[in-house]
């Protein structure tokens, strides 16, 4: 399946999110980039955030519509996140996509306490600050959508990425707790990607290959065979699910963790 086909045949009506401003973290590549593209296609004005300014500028130049912005930010830098929140509030952001790259793969027993610090700041701490900073504006607008891009490992831990499993589980519990606290006009949900055709998967395959001696292509073939669709998930497929959770009509969907994994998970 081609990303170009998925983008051109995007199933949601163009303009359905007109007048909305969306903040997309980790927008320079992968699922974050696809999500920014489809939010723009849906009519939202997008503030695309990531560490790589060049990739962000390229993204903004390729998105539908106008008024989109690129903001270079390191989510591990708490002061930078707080500074960005002020800008997001001025822009009346009502959609927040929490997304960031995961930690390197390794058995959990090989991780030191210090290994937990940066990933938790990049994911949980930054997401919490962003939500705290933006919900008052969402309440004033009367509309808010928060979607966290995490992992199927919150339901079925994946061998060899113990730190990531721990982090994603914390994010899911944090999100579920907030779903009971946030104003009725604001929803918060999680999307759980499976094996998706992104640079993150390339990194994990190389890490696993070094650890086990298995060829990278064999690893990819195993991943493909684990899902009934017999292929990797395209980032635009995941982004389509994220967009649906951002629509006004999804207001009754709250506190869920939606897997987009090609049916790989065996749990209900």
- From first to last of its 268 residues, the chain has per-residue pLDDT tens of 555 555 666 655 578 999 999 999 999 999 999 999 999 999 999 999 999 999 999 999 999 999 999 999 999 999 999 999 999 999 999 999 999 988 888 899 999 999 999 999 999 999 999 999 999 999 999 999 999 999 999 999 988 899 999 999 999 999 999 999 999 999 999 999 999 988 777 877 887 778 889 988 888 888 889 999 999 999 999 999 999 999 999 999 999 999 999 999 998 8
- This prediction has a pTM of 0.92
Cα–Cα distances (Å) from 179 to 60, 117, 130, 186, 199, in that order, read: 31, 25, 15, 9, 31
pLDDT at 209: 79
pLDDT at 3: 58
pLDDT at 13: 57
pLDDT at 202: 81
What's the 3-state SS for the chain? CCHHHHHHCCCCCCCCCCCCEEEEECCCCHHHHHHHHHHHHCCCEEEEEECCHHHHHHHHHHCCCCCCEEEECCCCCHHHHHHHHHHHHHCCCCEEEECCCCCCCECHHHCCHHHHHHHHHHHHHHHHHHHHHHHHHHHHHCCEEEEEECCHHHCCCCCCEHHHHHHHHHHHHHHHHHHCCCCCCEEEEEEEECCECCHHHHHHHHHHHHHHCCCHHHHHHHHHHHCCCCCCECHHHHHHHHHHHHCHHHCCCCCCEEEECCCCCCCC
pLDDT at 199: 78
- The domain locations on the chain are 3-196+234-260
The domain made up of 3-196+234-260 is a member of CATH 3.40.50.720: yes
Read off the tokens for 149: 């891009």
**DSSP-based helix, strand, coil % in the chain, nearest 5:** 50, 15, 35
């Amino acid at each position: 399946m081609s990303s170009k086909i998925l983008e051109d045949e995007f199933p949601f009506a163009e303009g359905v999110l007109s007048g909305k401003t969306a903040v997309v973290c980790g927008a320079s590549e992968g699922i974050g980039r696809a999500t920014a593209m489809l939010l723009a296609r849906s009519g939202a004005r997008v503030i695309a955030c990531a560490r790589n300014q060049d990739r962000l500028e390229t993204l903004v130049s390729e998105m539908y519509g106008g008024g989109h912005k690129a903001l270079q930010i390191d989510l591990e830098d708490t002061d930078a996140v707080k500074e960005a929140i002020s800008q997001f509030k001025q822009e009346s952001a009502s959609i927040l996509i929490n997304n960031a790259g995961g930690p390197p793969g390794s058995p959990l027993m090989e991780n030191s306490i210090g290994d937990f610090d940066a990933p938790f700041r990049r994911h949980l701490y930054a997401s919490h600050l962003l939500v705290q900073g933006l919900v008052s504006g969402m309440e004033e607008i009367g509309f808010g959508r928060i979607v966290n891009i995490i992992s199927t490992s919150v339901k079925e831990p994946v061998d060899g990425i113990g730190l990531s499993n721990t982090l994603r589980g914390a994010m899911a519990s944090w999100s579920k707790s907030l779903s009971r606290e946030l104003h009725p006009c604001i929803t918060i949900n999680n999307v759980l990607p499976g094996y998706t055709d992104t640079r993150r998967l390339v990194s994990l395959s190389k890490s696993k290959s070094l650890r086990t001696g298995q060829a990278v292509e064999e690893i990819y073939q195993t991943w493909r065979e684990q899902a009934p669709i017999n292929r990797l998930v395209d980032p635009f497929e995941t982004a389509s699910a994220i967009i649906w959770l951002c629509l006004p009509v999804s207001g009754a969907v709250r506190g869920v963790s939606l897997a987009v994994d090609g049916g790989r998970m065996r749990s209900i």
